[in-house]
A and B are shown apart, each in its own frame.
Chain A
Amino acid sequence: MKPATDTIRVLIRRGDAHSGRICVYRAPRRENQTVLDVVTWIQRELAPDLAYRFSCRVGMCGTCAMMVGGAPRWTCRTHVKTVLRRGQLELAPLRSLPIIKDLACDMSEFFAKWRRAEGRFHSSPERSGRAQPPVKILPSTPARREADAAIECINCAVCYSACDVVAWNRDYLGPAALNRAWSLQNDARDSAHARRLRAVSAGGGCQHCHSQHSCESFCPVGLSPARSIAGLKRALARGALGIRPHSPPHA
């Protein structure tokens, strides 16, 4: 590794949910470094009590998400040179989630909403029980394509943090939970479609989305929760008009 010739001014929001302060650090600037590299260097060399979260460091787990310069991002996949402004880097914990300490957030609320939106797969003895043969689902079916478009979510909460509606209305389920619900609505094996539609149309449900599309703009995987939410709204409108709910074909 080449020795550092320059430094970066790093501003980090530290403290818990009740008392926060901006701490300024100087970290070495290198030709190739990610924001996570900088945070790790600061924790190892300057502030051993700095709390943050990471696991894989290669964009697989989604645990290292933070606000970088006011935008939610995976820090392990963000090169410092792309977000540095006048030699300065601003870091804060993810927006709209309770802060545990420094850059680490409490994700309980996020996953509670995921469950509230019926994000769990419900098997049924008739459709996908052990006694049944495997359900045949052709990749070319429209439902399978819709599910494909939503299925790669790893629940990093970047979309949740980017969404203004989540910030304004703490009851709103958020893009990730609704995206998950839409992928299951298009799963022919799942048996809880009606119950899930009720869950996503209850208080804080998909009708609160204002179509700002921040979720799809910031999703590091390139998914479009906005598309999934639009799908849920269409399914609900069909139900309200008495049109038979869309049932994904088995083959």
Chain B
Amino acid sequence: MRPPQHPRTRALWLAFLLHRVSGILLALFLPLHFYLLGLALRDAEALDGYLALAAHPFLKIAEFGLVFLLAAHLCGGLRILAFEFLPWRNWQKGAAAAALALAFAFACGFLLRAF
């Protein structure tokens, strides 16, 4: 009998962790997102200031992280929906890896357009 990996180092447990952590971080980002959107309605000058700040390369990298979190949460959610509502398939690890790869591809696509 092959010794299984420790409960918290397995691919599907890590996929669960990524989905949870990305969800929490996105929820924490939302207030800032809505604040900036609100500026568009009441303070165009301040909004322009923030948009100019967003052109900084460091913020582009941070946005790459944000897009990755969003894509990872979306793809991870679709994976779980497929797992729970479609007929069972034995390639669950493959689906998790595909979701991660797709999320990374989305984020890289954003980064290529950003610079």
**Complex formed: what's the CA distance from A233 to B88 in Å?**
12
Which B residues touch A237, using CB under 8 A? 84-85
Which B residues touch A83, using CB under 8 A? 3
B98 to chain A, nearest CB (A): 16
Which A residues touch B3, using CB under 8 A? 69, 71, 73, 78, 82-83
A111 to chain B, nearest CB (A): 23
**Complex formed: what's the CA distance from A220 to B12 in Å?**
18
Per the 8 Å Cβ criterion, residues 1-51 of B in contact with A are 1-8, 10, 12-13, 16
- Of the candidates A73, A82, A211, the one having the most CB atoms from chain B within 10 angstroms of its own CB is A211
- Contact of A71 with B13 in the complex, beta carbons under 8 Å: no
Q: Which single member of A82, A162, A220, A230 contacts B83 (CB below 8 Å)?
A: A230
Q: Mark A114-142, 1 if CB is under 8 A from B, else 0.
A: 00000000000000000000000000000
Which A residues touch B10, using CB under 8 A? 213-214, 217
- Contact of B2 with A214 in the complex, beta carbons under 8 Å: no
Per the 8 Å Cβ criterion, residues 43-91 of B in contact with A are 80, 83-85, 88
**A217-B4, A217-B10 known; A227+B88 contact, CB < 8 A:** yes
- Contact of A70 with B6 in the complex, beta carbons under 8 Å: yes
**Complex formed: what's the CA distance from A210 to B76 in Å?**
12
Q: Which residue of A lies closest to B88 (CB)?
A: A227
- Contact of A218 with B4 in the complex, beta carbons under 8 Å: yes
- Of the candidates B6, B10, B83, B88, the one having the most CB atoms from chain A within 10 angstroms of its own CB is B88
- Contact of B1 with A214 in the complex, beta carbons under 8 Å: no
Q: Which single member of B7, B16, B84, B88 contacts A218 (CB below 8 Å)?
A: B7
Which B residues touch A214, using CB under 8 A? 7, 10, 13
Per the 8 Å Cβ criterion, residues 206-234 of A in contact with B are 210-214, 217-218, 220, 226-227, 230-231, 233-234
Q: Which single member of B2, B16, B85 contacts A212 (CB below 8 Å)?
A: B16
Q: Which single member of B2, B7, B80, B85 contacts A162 (CB below 8 Å)?
A: B7
Interface assignment of A13: CB less than 8 Å from any CB of chain B: no
- Contact of A234 with B7 in the complex, beta carbons under 8 Å: no
- Contact of B7 with A71 in the complex, beta carbons under 8 Å: yes
Q: Which residue of A lies closest to B89 (CB)?
A: A227
Which A residues touch B1, using CB under 8 A? 73-74, 77-79, 82, 220
B44 to chain A, nearest CB (A): 44
B83 to chain A, nearest CB (A): 6
Interface assignment of A164: CB less than 8 Å from any CB of chain B: yes
Q: Which single member of A162, A211, A220 contacts B16 (CB below 8 Å)?
A: A211
Which B residues touch A212, using CB under 8 A? 12-13, 16
Q: Which single member of A82, A164, A210 contacts B2 (CB below 8 Å)?
A: A82
Which B residues touch A164, using CB under 8 A? 7-8, 13
**A212-B13, A212-B16, A213-B10 known; A230+B88 contact, CB < 8 A:** yes
Q: Can you list 5 contacts pairing A with B, beta carbon distance less than 8 Å?
A: A79-B1, A82-B2, A210-B16, A214-B13, A234-B85
